[in-house]
Amino acid sequence: MIPITQTLGYNRLITKNSLLLLLVIPALGAGTPSHFAPYAGGQVHYESYGSGNEAVVFIHGWTCDLTFWREQAPVYENHRSLLIDLPGHGQSDKPRGPYPVEFFARGVEAVMRDAGVDRAVLVGHSLGGPIVYTFLRLFPEQVKAVVLVDANVHAPMNTPAYRKAQQRLYDQNVRVLSGPSGRKYMAGSIERMFSDQTPPAWRGQISAKMLATPDYVRVAAVSSPSQLDPPKPGETYAVPALAILAGSQASLDLRVAATRRIFPNLQAEKWVGHGHFVMVEDPERFNKSLEDFLATH
């Protein structure tokens, strides 16, 4: 197992129901509202729907792209929304170098600025969850609410022991994910993210998209230490928050409790028996939960 634990401020293992990011689906068709925001000497690709200075912003996970949200079209086509290809992913530029969590979070801010969005409900799947948390730490005034989709969010600690343990994990991630053997390991890990609920047609799409991400990006995204100062002990955020989490009942109870330590106003849904890609496993249920949350926030 790859303990991508707290790599970017979150505790995660590459197992069936824990780790990375989210969904995949059909390729972009003609006429899609694609845009490119300048960022870090390159460009970040995104899709923009509707108009206005407040939006729902969809943030995919590790080695995924914005097409992982295609089953959420009934939501994002009905709201002012932005779907983002994170730096290094999808149609965005893929520079070589470190990819700490704040690099992704600032990329999200660059897209919002380019799209004229001042405040957002941030929806993050897997790695997208720690990115949402980091964005909130960097740009709190721009966050209206957060939705965490099978994502674990933990506050990093400011201790030598913690930093040493983190570095060991980063080093291990580099070893197990690099080169041909890393690709093989990753392929097996992706399979373990599925459940009996995962539609067969999605499995191949998800695997192909994730494995197509450049080797150097997939490694750097889970081995680049954050340069941000750790939060103060006990620091919390009172923004409205929804967590949709999948797994066993026991693991879900622990994950909800950990998330609530950061988001005291957390509303949680425990999808027992589901896999990591909950948005494609039951999009009707997922979209209703998201719409209900948006209606009150």
- Which has the closest alpha carbon to 240: 151, 148, 145? 145
- 54 bridge partner residues: 119
Read off the pTM: 0.90
For 131-177, what is each residue's pLDDT tens digit? 999 999 999 999 999 999 999 999 999 899 999 999 999 999 999 99
Query: Does pLDDT of 240 surpass 60?
Result: yes
- Rounded to a whole number of angstroms, the CA Rg of the chain reads 17
For 29-69, what is each residue's pLDDT tens digit? 334 699 999 999 999 999 999 999 999 999 999 999 999 99
**d(Cα 136, Cα 268) in Å, to the nearest integer?**
19
The predicted structure's pLDDT at residue 32: 64
Residues 6+ apart with CB under 8 A from 143: 119, 120, 122, 135, 136, 239
For 92-135, what is each residue's pLDDT tens digit? 999 999 999 999 999 999 999 999 999 999 999 999 999 999 99
The predicted structure's pLDDT at residue 10: 31
Domain edges within the chain: 34-296
- Which has the closest alpha carbon to 44: 56, 60, 23? 60
Architecture of 34-296 per CATH? Answer: 3-Layer(aba) Sandwich (3.40)
- 143 bridge partner residues: 120
The predicted structure's pLDDT at residue 202: 93
Query: Does pLDDT of 17 surpass 80?
Result: no
Confidence of residue 14 (pLDDT cuts 50, 70, 90): very low
Query: Does pLDDT of 13 surpass 50?
Result: no
Mean pLDDT of 218-231: 96
Average pLDDT along the chain:
90
Q: Which amino acid is at 199?
A: P
For 242-288, what is each residue's pLDDT tens digit? 999 999 999 999 999 999 999 999 999 999 999 999 999 999 999 99
Mean pLDDT of 185-210: 96
The predicted structure's pLDDT at residue 121: 98
Residue 50 near residue 30 (C-beta atoms within 8 A): no
